[in-house]
Amino acid sequence: MLLVHPDGSSFRFDPGALCLDLLPTGGPGPLAYFEVLHGPADLVDWAGRSRLPGGLDLVVSPAEVVAARRLRDALWRL
């Protein structure tokens, strides 16, 4: 996955597991600076760049974005 820092620099990230692909999308506290999951289109964009298979034609609700952010934040607390 290609990540783009808020300062414009970019780098590749491969955590080896789909759930860990969520980590660089932001997080609680100081990690909120890196938040990229603001709405449904952002989660669809993330899914397209993740290790999920292509061509899924996903439709995401605002509630599912909240759920994805909660899952990600829980992963940060592990």
pLDDT tens for each residue of 17-56: 888 989 999 999 999 999 999 999 999 999 988 888 888 8
Q: What angle do CA 28, 34, 40 make, to 5 degrees?
A: 85
Q: Give the model's pLDDT for residue 27.
A: 95
Q: What angle do CA 20, 25, 31 make, to 5 degrees?
A: 105
Q: Give the model's pLDDT for residue 8.
A: 86
Give 13's pLDDT tier (boundaries 50, 70, 90). Answer: confident
User: Per the structure, how many domains does the chain have?
Assistant: 1
Separation in Å, CA 65 to CA 6, 8, 35, 41 = 21, 24, 12, 9
pLDDT surpassing 90 at residue 69: yes
Q: Give the model's pLDDT for residue 12.
A: 85
Give the domain extent around 7: 2-77
Q: How many CB atoms lie within 10 A of CB 67?
A: 13
Q: Please give the Cα distance from 59 to 31 (Å, whole number).
A: 26
